[in-house]
Amino acid sequence: MRLHYAGAFPEPIGFLLLPRFSMMAFFSAIEPLRIANRIAGERLFTWRVIGLDGASVTASNDMTLLADDTLASAPALPSIAICASFEPEERLTHHLLHWLHQRHQGDCVLGGIDTGSLILARAGLLEGQRVTLHWESLPAFRERFPEINAVESLFEVGPRGFSCAGGTAAMDMTLDLIARRHGDELAADVSEQLIHARMRPRHDHQRHDLTQRLGTHKHSVIEAVALMERHLETPLTLARLAARIGISLRQLQRLFEQELGERPRDHYLRLRLQHARQLLRETDRDILSIGLASGFTSASSFSRAYKQHFGTSPRQARHPHPDDTR
């Protein structure tokens, strides 16, 4: 999946699957390759599935795939994508880090799918690159690696690496690869076979805009929520929020209840608690610092609000429920 490829076709691509990887993202990456081969009438691409140390890997949906290789047996490949999802660091070992460095030094271009970029960041292999990962994991990633240029795009491709947000963004990244290697017409044909109406450019946003997410076109409500999302660590008072968008506090409260069916205070609190939950799951920061980063003034007030909202304590939320999938 490198920007340029000077080798002979078929072009081989490796997929390193970490336990609990996203099946959706993995299939979204390989199916366009298979269809491109079929439409072209020849093998333009091949792929190999790499497991850490066993014959099979279990995805986040509990389905199991057989691996072609392990770290020890994998052949030299020009590109390898690390496919991950929840808790990718659980199986991060010195052996895996050493293996990634060996591949990197051997001129293999490494990339991340979903939270695969987190593994590359831990390995110190993202210096000078622009990367992306799933939007849920992005805030925690930026907290841990402020020196890395992490953006909320669908995918990023450069001469030294590539990354995508997971889900169907992997399909867009692979279609982009097909277009660069074999032309826009083939990529468009593959996209149509997949009933993928539009090949999205890399700079598209991962999430719906606020109008779609909130289900309202009221500009004042949309502007208020946007301000809330930008001020999670140091929350604005509702009076200040209303003043910033040019309406009265009473109008703000009425609009939220009318358009969203909840009070602005409750909506703001929920945003802060959701932010805290991601930090709990994906960083090793202590409870107090996560509470402070989410707009609370003490660990006790944070824990009380968290348990009331989610039904569990922040300490228990350190590890997501095994049924969590994406």
Is 141:121 a contact under the CB 8 Å cutoff?
A: yes
pLDDT at 55: 86
> In which domain, by residue range, is 248 found?
210-318
Q: What is the CATH number of the domain that holds 309?
A: 1.10.10.60
As for how many domains the chain has, the answer is 2
CA distances from 123 to 23, 57, 84, 110, 258 (A): 24, 22, 15, 11, 49
Residue 323 in domain? no
pLDDT at 326: 56
> Distance between the two ends of the chain, CA-based, in angstroms?
23
Q: What is the pLDDT of residues 135-173, one digit of tens each?
A: 989 988 998 899 999 999 999 999 889 999 999 999 999
Residue 134 sits in the same domain as residue 168: yes
pLDDT at 89: 86
Stretches in the chain below the pLDDT threshold 50: none
Residue 88 sits in the same domain as residue 127: yes
Residue 189 sits in the same domain as residue 215: no
pTM of the model: 0.79
Residue 248 sits in the same domain as residue 124: no
pLDDT at 319: 61
pLDDT at 176: 96
Pairing of strands 155-158, 79-83: unpaired
pLDDT at 189: 96
Return the H-helix or E-strand segment holding 139. Answer: helix 138-144
